[in-house]
Amino acid sequence: MRKFIFILLILQPFIVKLVYKAGFQINVFNELLSLLVLSLFIFRILIKRKFNNSFLIYLSFLVYTLLLGVYRNIMPLSLFQILIYSQFFFYFFYFQSFSDQEKCEMMRSMKRIMDFIVVVVAIIAVIEVIDYQSFRNFIGVHSVNRGINGFYLISFFGSGPSLAIFISLYVFVWHYYYYAMGNQITRKSISYLFLAIVLGVLSFSRKETLFIFMFILLFPYPSKSKLRKWLKRLILSVAVFAGLLYYYLTFFESANRKGFDSGYIRWQIMAKSVEVYKDYFPFGTGAGTFGSRVSLMMPHIYEEYNVGQGMLGWEATNSRGPIYDAFLSTFITEIGIGVLLIMYLFYKLLESKTIVGNSHSSFIKNFILIYLLSLSFFVPMLTNSFGYIIMIILASIACNISLFKIRIKY
């Protein structure tokens, strides 16, 4: 069942595209899958008759957001957003509840599944090279201004960034499987990694591509000689820097100009988030009121602060607008100091030991956490399928964390 859940999460963007293409306006795929995970977790608790005390972090988050919803008088709509925010907890605590041996087996399964997906993406890439516009029409997505004269890979994910996030997760899992778990590296395995990186680069996604190469550059690859190790790292650093510089200057000139413009929509949303939060400090406006899926059903904050369609998206029923592209700032505006509970969970993960107990696994775990938080500034990672996959990976890498134990030595 765990493998099936993992596969469904990878396929989620494609399934959603099919749902909309079929004419359905409501998408509850994530919610139904998360409900299944919650049911499985509750069943395990009933069988084992115990659960890790770190689950109290989620219970505290749940109580806090419910009380905030009552205090702000935004129930029952706020409850729906609280359940959406709860989903990434469900995945983490369910997959964390298994034994170390079962977690290692899960990582092996993830690696095999992702190997197969990389091959599928490569096959689809050939179709996209031949006629990318027809493929996008078939998927039901619109082209954006990126890539080489409009060419960039999206695969069955339906977007370049989604493909690039999958590729970055594959790179992390690949390194964990071979370096942390000690499996033998072959020419075939290296070819899979190289192919995946090429596919990621051809997605023309700035943030994700940067993190892929940062990971490769910083990863503690084993070396018999320290001099040779640092010499290789120096050569690799120069090559990566030169390559990325050419990549960004050649293919992202327009996007870079927008990103540094004070009128960039993300900076406007962040500024508006700060403005709103100042008035609702320290608890926030409440879940489902600003920058979240339910917020379009409760527009009183948008009306009070004159948040126009430029931020919300020009279609009244649009489920994907600019307001969702500065997630962490709008998330803090909604739940205020409640975000400290999530940060505490991440802190406990950061200080936790790993199952295999070596430097490679610790580096991967910590890098994935930084990756998750960094992307969350722009993408709603805590509420999408890739965020859930990351929580599954973290739960399968880290030892069970304890809420009350604090490490003194690192």
Average pLDDT, integer, range 4-17? 89
pLDDT class of 318 with cuts at 50, 70, 90:
very low
Per-residue pLDDT tens digits for 59-116: 999 999 999 999 999 999 999 999 999 999 999 999 998 988 999 999 999 999 999 9
Predicted model pTM: 0.90
Q: pLDDT band at residue 121, thresholds of 50, 70 and 90?
A: very high
Q: What is the pLDDT of residue 176?
A: 96
Number of domains the chain is built from: 1
Rounded-to-integer distance, Cα 296 and Cα 217, Å: 42
* Lowest mean pLDDT across 83-87, 238-242, 401-405: 401-405
Domain annotation covers residue 346: yes
User: What range does the domain containing 386 cover?
Assistant: 2-258+339-397
154-170 confidence digits (pLDDT tens): 999 988 899 999 999 99
Q: Highest mean pLDDT: which of 104-118, 347-361, 396-410?
A: 104-118
Domain-embedded: residue 300 = no
What value does the mean pLDDT take over residues 183-200?
94
What residues does 354 pair with on adjacent strands? 398
Band (5; pLDDT cuts 50, 70, 90): very high
- pLDDT given at position 404: 66
Is 66 inside any structural domain?
yes
Mean pLDDT of the chain: 86
Which pLDDT value is given to residue 408? Answer: 47
Q: pLDDT band for position 374 (50/70/90)?
A: very high
- Residue 266: is it exposed, middle or buried by C-beta count within 10 angstroms (0-12/13-18/19+)? middle
Q: What's the N-to-C CA distance of the chain in angstroms?
A: 36
269 in any annotated domain: no
* 315 within some domain: no
Whether pLDDT at 230 is above 50: yes
Helices and strands: H and E segment counts in the chain? 17, 0
**Tokens linked to 245:** 């510089």
Between 245 and 253, residue with greater pLDDT: 245
- Closest listed residue to residue 151, CA positions, set 171, 131, 175: 131
Instruction: Evaluate whether residue 158 is within a structural domain.
Output: yes
Residue 308, pLDDT > 80, answer no
Helix 359-376 × helix 327-335 angle, to 10° = 80
Between 292 and 22, where is the model more confident? 292
Q: Is residue 270 part of a domain?
A: no
Secondary structure of 2-64 in HEC code, one letter for each residue? HHHHHHHHHHHHHHHHHHHHCCCCCCCHHHHHHHHHHHHHHHHHHHHCCCCCCHHHHHHHHHH
71 lies in some domain: yes
pLDDT of residue 410: 45
